[in-house]
Structure 1
Amino acid sequence: MTSYLIGLGIKILLLAPPILLALTVHEASHALVAWIRGDDTARRQGRLTLNPIKHLDVAGTLVFFITAWVGSGIGWAKPVPVDYRNLKNPLRDIIWVSAAGPVANLATACLLALALHGLVAGGLFREPSLPVYYLGQMFILGVQVNLVLAMFNLLPLPPLDGSGIVTGLLPLRLAMRYQELKRYGFALLLALIFLPRVVPAFPDLIGLLVVWPARELMDLLLPL
């Protein structure tokens, strides 16, 4: 029992920094691009920051830990407030603001993978008794979490970022109709995440559209 609790504690300690980093970078990037494109709503509300406390949603972070534990890593933070009326070109800029989060996660995954390559090349990622070994494990988890978060948010389902990208690409009338999905979006997301685990016949779309491409990218990025 003691060894199990120790292992549990180690895994939580390894998971916490990558999850906090991924969520913080994601939301802060939305705030930054919105500010660059003319809307300072997020900055005025203290969201243009790398302080994770400003971005965390308790339920979303808990779901992130639970799903990351079983290998996917899907969750959410508090959405960054954006007043699209303040953007220089709302229909175009909604694309850049929406894409900023997933792009930031992809960039973070690449940087963490590069750092891991450095550890491997230096022969520092061999001995589990060394602290640097656990740093490398944290880098691996960071790559996984950031890739899954990026792929998940690119799904074209409100309120995810992919829906903002699609909205910016659609004609105005269709975009307004499309955004009406927001009232059902959260329930649909929960169904996509949890139903395949309790109803085997339900298709695992998250596995197909999120986890599988994230794993393929991990195979490309990681040196192991």
Structure 2
Amino acid sequence: MTTATSRRGERRISPVFLGIVAVMAVTGWAVWTDFAPRAGLAVFLFVTSAWIVSLCLHEYAHARTALHGGDISVGAKGYLTLNPLKYTHALLSIVLPVVFVVLGGIGLPGGAVFIERGRIRGRWKHSLISAAGPLTNVLFAVVCTAPFWLDALDGVPLVFQVALAFLGLLQVTAAILNFLPVPGLDGYGVIEPWLSYGVRRQVEPYAPYGLLLVFVLLWVPEVNDVFFDAVHGVLRGLGVEELWTYCGREYYQFWQDPNEICVPR
């Protein structure tokens, strides 16, 4: 029997998530004040923790939208607590995206929450559930880049600027990749309810390989160039030049010395 107390417990924010937010806040302060002995290490911890926070919010958005769409099971599964350890595929949702950020500076999307689609009625609801996650990345990108498009960089330390720019890059790449209409990604989930039953059945076996296909294609230089041209085009629209994101990545990879053009004078 579900009681009011149990429902509140299902929606109580997890201490794990709060701990990650605390790391983000402390390391963000360290970047801002230049408190850390090595700026790169502080940038690494700040961007990584902020990226994990955005992953949690991405999956929470899916779950919360599903809850209002009719899937009341998401609460019992722990999806509403923002605890990354409750996700169905923690490896795909947290570990691999963080690894890809460390290695290549790409905001890799991941699948995590299991939605009981049979509980939900209406194609628009199904589409909105799939769109809710990447829309969170869009919102996160807008917030991260706000000092740039608001022309409010006066007084913001340079290293903090490039850290925000790199974080904005991750959010934009995640949003674009997630919105691709590829089976297994959220973009396909948006259009899937509007496809015929026969088409859905034909595509279904390929869903587990969609993300792998995208990853392989990004290794093709021509595809990679087109993709990042689009990413940097969006970022320029948000007031962020490519040099800022480049320097942010240079600081993020603290085990390497940043390029001389990125070192404050």
Q: TM-score range by the shorter chain?
A: 0.7 to 0.9
1:221 maps to what in 2? 238
Match of 1:85, SS?
helix
Shift of 1:75: 2.5
Q: Give the counterpart of 1:81 among 114, 121, 134.
A: 114
Q: How many residues in Structure 1 have an aligned counterpart in Structure 2?
A: 204
Q: How does 1:50-199 map to 2 (within 5 A)?
A: 50-55=82-87, 57-58=90-91, 61-69=94-102, 72-89=105-122, 91-115=123-147, 121=152, 123-125=154-156, 127-128=157-158, 134=160, 136-193=161-218, 196=219
Tell me: CA distance 1:162–1:206, structure 2 relative to 1, closer, same or farther (3 Å).
Answer: farther
C-alpha displacement of 1:215? 1.6
- Offset from partner CA, 1:49-96 (integer Å, 9 cap, x none): 33344447346544434433466423244511111110022x332211
TM-score, L = length of structure 1 = 0.76
Distance verdict in 2 for CA 1:186–1:217, change over 3 Å: closer
Structure 1: unaligned runs, 5 residues or longer: 197-201
Say what the alpha-carbon RMSD is for the aligned residues. Answer: 2.9
- Cα 1:27–1:59 shift into 2, 3 Å: closer
Larger radius of gyration: 2
1:34 Cα deviation from its structure 2 partner:
0.6
Secondary structure of 2:121's counterpart equals coil
What displacement does 1:216 show?
1.3
Distance 1:78 1:165 in 2: 14
Question: Matches of 2:43 and 2:197 in 1, distance apart?
Answer: 47
- Structure 2 unaligned regions, length at least 5: 1-36, 242-265
Alpha-carbon distance change, 48 to 186 in structure 1, aligned in 2, over 3 angstroms: same
AA paired with 1:179? E
Deviates more, 1:148-157 or 1:168-177: 168-177
Cα distance in 1 between the residues matched to 2:196 and 2:111: 28
